Structures are given as structure tokens and as C-alpha cells.
Amino acid sequence: MALPSPVSWDAEKNRLKILDQRQLPWKVSFLFCSSYLDVAEAIETLAVRGAPAIGVTAAYGVALSALHGEKKSVDLALKRLASTRPTAINLFGALHRMKKRAATLGSKVLFTGLLEEAHKILEEDLKANRQMGELGKTLFPQKSIVLTHCNAGALATAGYGTALGVLRAAREHGKEIKVFVDETRPVFQGARLTAWELLQDGFDVTVICDNMAGGLMQKNAITSVIVGADRIAANGDTANKIGTYSLAILAHYHQIPFYVAAPTTTIDYSAKAGSHICIEERDGTEVRTSLGSPLIPDSFPVWNPAFDITPSQLICAIITEKGVVFPPFIENLAKL
């Protein structure tokens, strides 16, 4: 079964079509966004998620704001969309590109010009994902048992995927890839999205609870770990879905290679280290409930950071579309 596109443009009705990831794996349904406000809500509520996909979606949101050729509306869209997810650097990169393009356009061609730019951002992400896969597949032996966390696949990008794109490329070149997927509490992106996506592609997939990863590694059942990223600092410190840091520590202890796959648009050279990356904290309801069903009383205090920082010392390589980068990251990332 072909995976539906996570983000696509409906040219007939001038609207954005988004695969509603809140409904997966139970139902494949779509949202149709006709304004930048619709797009902002889709990003905030995780109907669309994953740093590259957020960037692409936001770009189309800016284009939608220009339907009537008003630059004031574009300015409002840029501000509103920038407030949606603070950690995903691709969001801000895409908004910056759209702002620059808008500055070169008159009102009569504002919408068409911005839509053209959004199309370019989507196409460039697809191309980068494919290239990452080609470069990263060489890191995996002929028979690999891989652990991944959250979702860094086609659903998190314009298509194909970052971490999962590497696994797709490895399998397309004849390698035998078995994947263990962390459920990824509290929103279950691994169990709901990664497992569904890989099963649609015919992968050998097993879902585990987040707290089972160490026991699995102890049994020598994992040959490598690969994850995506929402932001990478200049020194290689990486912000990714909460729980990634724990996996990196476990992998380091068990001498298992730990890889990060992300496009160069995810690298934030202005952030010298992970401590400079803003970590989004989300509503405690996500922890107090399990997909809408109560787990603990509303009165119980919770802490719900969406991401954590994996220090560069725990990362064996960062796979980008411009090359596989090895330590020392502060020197080699700067060469990209």
C-alpha cells in the first residue's frame, strides 16, 4: 500500500491537504486548510508533526495568507506560525525563506510567488531525504536489527523520511532490516505512526514500550539505533523527541552505534550547544491521559517536555543529504 502524502497542495481549491496523524493508525483521514490559522492549529495539535513536515506545512500556510495579495496578512501569518512549535528549527527556516520571497513580490504575484516557494521547499525536502537514504544506508550491515524512537519517516517529512528513509534505502538495496519501535510516550508517535508506516511498507516491525529498550539491548538484540532530529546545535548536540537521550546513554553503554539522520536545514549554527536550544513544554493532559482515556487525576502535577538533548559525545554519526558527518562534529558540521 502506498503511503499517503503527509502534506500536499490542492490546486483546484487553493487549499492545503494534510494527513491527520492524530487519527492514525485507526483511520486515514485528511484536514483541508484554507487559511494560515487552520495551518497553525494543525501544527499545534500535532495533526502534522516532524520538523521537516512542520517547515513545509508552515510555508504553505504563509502562501495561503497571500491569497488576496495582502502583505499585511503575510506578516500576521509569519508571526502566528512562528509561535506554534518553538523547537523545530525547520519551521523558522521555512518562514525566513517565505519572508524573503514575499519582500521581492508585488501584490499581484504575491500568492503565486509564495506558493511557488512553498512547492520548492517541499521538493527540496523530498530530494534531501532520498539523498540521506543513499548516504546513510552504507552504515548498516547486511543483516541489521535497528531500534528507532518517535517517527522520523515519510509522515514526519515531505515524504520518504529521514531516519526511516535511511532504513528504506538500505532495504531497497537488498539489506535485511528488522525494526524495533519504541512506543514513544506520551503521544505514542512510535507505536501509532512509525509502526503503521513501516508495516505499510512491508518491514519486519516489533513495537516495544519505551522502558524495554535497555532489556532488549542487554540481550544483544539490537545492532544499531537511528533517530531523527528537530534541531542540531553547531557542536552536534541534538534535540529530538523526549526519551532519545535515554536511548543514547543505553546505546553507549552497550557499545551500539547511535545515529541521527536529519537534513542540513535542521542544523542551527547559531546554537553553539544543546543548552542554547529552546525545549517546548506541552500541556500536561498528554501525560494524564492515554489517547484521550484518563490515566491519572487532573489534579496530579506533571512535567511534559516534548524533547530532550542528546550530547554529541553519544552520537556516532549524523547523516545529512550533504554527507555522513563523524566526530568532531563542531568542525565537520561546519564544513557542510
Cell numbers that stand for 3 in this block: 503511503
| The Cα angle at residue 163 between residues 158 and 169, in degrees rounded to 5 | 85
Burial of residue 335 (number of CB atoms within 10 Å: 0-12, 13-18, 19+): exposed
Given 38, 230, 237, 268, which residue is catalytic? Answer: 230
Q: How many CA atoms lie within 13 A of 277 on its CB side?
A: 33
Active site (annotated) includes residue 230: yes
Q: What type of residue is 81?
A: L
Torsion over CA: 85, 89, 94, 99 (sign):
positive
As a residue count, the chain comes to 336
Q: Which residue has the cell 512535567?
A: 303
CB-CB neighbours of 216 under 10 Å: 18
Residue 215 makes CB contacts below 8 A (sequence gap 6+) with none
Calculate Rg over the CA atoms of the chain.
19
How far, in Å, CA of 170 to CA of 198, rounded? 13
In terms of phi and psi (left: phi > 0; alpha: psi -120 to 50; beta: otherwise), the region of 46 is left
Asked if 144 and 137 count as a contact pair (C-beta separation under 8 A), the reply is no
Which helix (H) or strand (E) segment holds residue 310: the answer is strand 307-310
Asked if 333 and 232 count as a contact pair (C-beta separation under 8 A), the reply is yes
Alpha-carbon distance values, 83 to 3, 20, 97, 121, 132 (Å): 30, 20, 17, 20, 29
How far, in Å, CA of 57 to CA of 40, rounded? 9
How far, in Å, CA of 34 to CA of 65, rounded? 9
User: Which positions are catalytic?
Assistant: 230
